[in-house]
Amino acid sequence: MTNEEIIQLLKENIIQGRRDENDEGLEEGMVGQPGAKELTEAAIEAGISPDTIILEGLTAGMNVVGEKYEAKEYFIPDMLASAEATGIAMEILEPHLAKAGVSSKGKVVVATVKGDLHDIGKNIVSLLLKGAGYEVLDLGNDIPPERIVDVVREENPDFVGLSALLTTTMKMMGETINRLREAGLRDKVKVLVGGAAVSQDFADEIGADGYGTDGFHAVRLVEELRE
Amino acid sequence: MTAIEAAPKLVKLAARNDENSLILDGHEPRLHFASGSEANIWLDVDFSTYVNKSHPEIEVELPTFHPRRGMLNDLCQAAHLCEHLDNLDGFIRPVNIQDEDVTEKNKDVNKFFASLNNTTKHVMSGLTDLSQLDSVIRMAEIVAGGRLEDNPIISFITCAVKSPLQLVDDTTQKLIEIARRGIPLVMSSSPQGGSTAPITEDGMVAQINAEILCGVALTQLVRKGTPVLYGSVPTRARMDDLNESYGAAEFNQYNVDCVQMARFYGLPCYSTAGVADTKVPGIQASVEKMFSHILVSLSGPHYLHYAFGLLERTNTFCPIQAVLDDAHIQMVKSFLREPNIGPREVSSSLEQVKQVMNSTHKLYVRYVRPKLHAGEITPPYPFESRDMSDEVLLKASRRMEELLSLPVEHLSKDTTKRIYNDIPGLLRRLNIHDQEK
């Protein structure tokens, strides 16, 4: 395969949302064909620069996915599948980015707050952020404020995304922001909140930097605040 | 019982487009939805913009309703619309044609021609005047290109019985003559619980069953093997005005019971659902309609008539409501789909579980895609509104306009010419080829 063919195939596999060779994607007979994982590895092996892989393979593919979504040809499952495939490619590329002098778009810590075990929304946000080219540290669910403070101190992320489904647990979002403030870290990181119980009013009340209504909105918020 | 046993257990309702032909098998509860039934009123709906007096920046589009007498042109339009409703399987004229030049002597040929010329689905109707029967059959044979008996692209509804338990000369004569010609017919009876039949479930079923079986037996005595449907249209009387109440729970009980009787005899069942008591389309109409669509469907009839657009009992037909009903029937049909579970599907599901449990996100969302893109996942409500508004009727109206802008496969010029040469009483304005000139 030529370099152009590898990049083109990678782009097509992102559009198909195929993670690896075992993924059937959207078309019959695709199992056994290289997916995003194998093609990203092949691209690195062929000496294609990481920024070319990202721009012409992953981003170009995700742009098409976005267009198909707008045209109602694709739906949420397709977006998530493509984002997941892109996320896998980004994980493979990560060690090569620093070497090539390409910086990540940003680092995001995500967590479902203490007392809350609901993580579907948080998982979707993680997938979409990875697909959009962000480095994501997903801490899981039932995460106490002090753990988040520790991670922010150690990892120096650009964003913290907090999720809560319950009205009884969403107060931990405010608590987490207070702890970040007490630790002198509040100005170093932007805090975004989301989840069924949360609203823009609540986000304003606890002093969050943004409120996302859904996963796609969360990614848009991160993009806007990054600028 | 010998006569009942002679009635075919399998009836074919053919269609201009053979792909639209229907097989009704008394031993297999495979459901088809049809329109109906000769409503006097056609309901037009307009939308106007209203401004909130306190907040002039707030505007809403709301419907206004304009009932009027149904005309031949409306019947053409209804057939055109029904041709494009994906979930309508058979066409029964939903509007009574009341043009000044439509008389008892030319009504049948004109209503059948208007229907056949605007839909390629099976056409079923009552017969107004027995003298028109052979003209209608001849017309259908020209369209079908052969004997109607062999390719019944039309069929008839007969109401031989006047409840309670009285055979009527005029309609019984029609039943006999249709049966004599071997054309499929519905032996329909429509007693009203509380007025012309007992209000109790057992009393109603005993009476309507006797009325229908009387007609079915008669068809077989006239001509053994005549295709006949067990036509049960039981209703319940309202206690405030003695009109029918189609939204009542008893209506559903009666109809479900009748379907069971038809299944007991192994006869294909023409049953009833989808009529609203209210005069206008909207929430009450859709609730009443869905109530019976779901309940009666689950009992396993074969041909469910009245299913599209009927309001104000059966006095009004509203095309926008028919569009809504089509979407609602889509839900019922999706629910009634045969499950696809085999060793391959089980193995695939287990593999999904394995993969998801090995993932960090624990989500099955990506595995939805093959079924989603194959159209096997039921879509969201097609007339859903965004934000805090209710635009269901407005969106249904736009959908109706879209469907009416789609072309219809009219009868060819040659076929139309032959029909006009052979069949007396047809109105010239129905000949679209004349209009083209």
Give the domain ranges of chain B: 2-335, 343-373
Domains of chain A, by residue range, sit at 3-99, 107-226
Residue B289 confidence (pLDDT) above 80:
yes
According to CATH, the topology of domain A107-226 is Rossmann fold (3.40.50)
What CA–CA distance (Å, rounded) separates B306 from A128?
48
Residues of chain A with pLDDT under 70: none
Strands B22-25, B10-13: pairing is antiparallel
Token reading at B337:
């789909």
C-alpha torsion B305→B309→B311→B315, nearest 10: -70
Query: Global pTM?
Result: 0.88
Kindly determine whether residue B366 and residue A138, on different chains, have CB atoms separated by under 8 Å: no
Residue B97 phi, psi (nearest 5) = -90, 120
Among residues B84, B104, B98, B107, the alpha carbon closest in space to that of B35 is found at B84
Q: CA angle, A52 as apex, A49 and A57 as ends, to 5°?
A: 125
Name the residue of chain B whose CA is nearest to A16's CA.
B369
Q: How many CB pairs under 8 A join A and B?
A: 38
With a CB cutoff of 8 Å and minimum separation 6, the contacts of B131 are B105
High-pLDDT (> 70) share of chain B, %: 99
Preferred mutation among B354, B356, B366 to probe A, highest tally of A CBs within 10 A: B366
Residues A104/A134, Cβ–Cβ less than 8 Å: yes
Q: Does B360 touch chain A (CB under 8 A)?
A: yes
Mean pLDDT computed over B38-53:
96
**What's the rounded Cα separation, in Å, for the pair B24 and B33?**
12
CATH architecture of B2-335: Alpha-Beta Barrel (3.20)
Rounded-to-integer distance, Cα A85 and Cα B311, Å: 52
Residue B309, number of CB atoms within 10 A of its CB: 34
Listed in sequence order, the residues at least 6 apart from B343 whose beta carbon sits closer than 8 Å to its beta carbon are none
Q: Is the pLDDT of residue B332 over 80?
A: yes
- State chain B's mean pLDDT as an integer: 95
E-strand stretches of B222-341: 228-232, 235-237, 244-245, 269-272, 303-305, 310-311, 316-317
B366/A17 Cβ within 8 A: yes
Q: Which class would CATH give A3-99?
A: mainly alpha
Mean pLDDT of B252-263: 98
Distance from CA of B423 to the nearest CA of A (A): 50
Q: Could you tell me the pLDDT band of residue B437, with boundaries at 50, 70 and 90?
A: low
Which residue is listed with tokens 């946000």?
Answer: A125
pLDDT, average across residues B393-403? 97
What strand order describes the sheet that includes B310-311? B59-69, B41-51, B316-317, B310-311
Q: How many CA atoms lie within 13 A of B115 on its CB side?
A: 31
Burial of B335 (0-12, 13-18, 19+ CB in 10 A): exposed
B386 inside 8 A of chain A by CB: no
Residue corresponding to tokens 């079924």: B371
The C-alpha angle B15, B13, B90, rounded to 5 degrees, equals: 70
Residue B422: pLDDT above 80?
yes
The reported pLDDT for the residue numbered B436 is: 67
B46 phi, psi to nearest 5 deg = -110, 155
Per-residue pLDDT at B11: 98
The one-letter amino acid at A106: G
Residue among B361, B367, B372 minimizing CB distance to A127: B361
Q: And the tokens for B198?
A: 């007992």
Q: Does A76 touch chain B (CB under 8 A)?
A: yes
Q: Bridge-partner residues for B63, per DSSP?
A: B47
Q: pLDDT tens across B101-160, in order?
A: 999 999 999 999 999 999 999 999 999 999 999 999 999 999 999 999 999 999 999 999
Residue B125 dihedral angles phi and psi, to the nearest 5°: -160, 160
Mean of the pLDDT values across residues B303-307? 96
Closest Cα in chain B, distance from residue A26 (Å)? 6
Cα B163 → chain centroid: 23
- pLDDT per position as a tens digit, B190-240: 999 999 999 999 999 999 999 999 999 999 999 999 999 999 999 999 999
Residue B53: pLDDT above 70? yes
B372 and A CB contact within 8 Å: yes
Task: Say yes or no for a CB contact (<8 Å) between B363 and A126.
Answer: no
Say if residues B174 and B133 touch (Cβ distance below 8 Å). yes
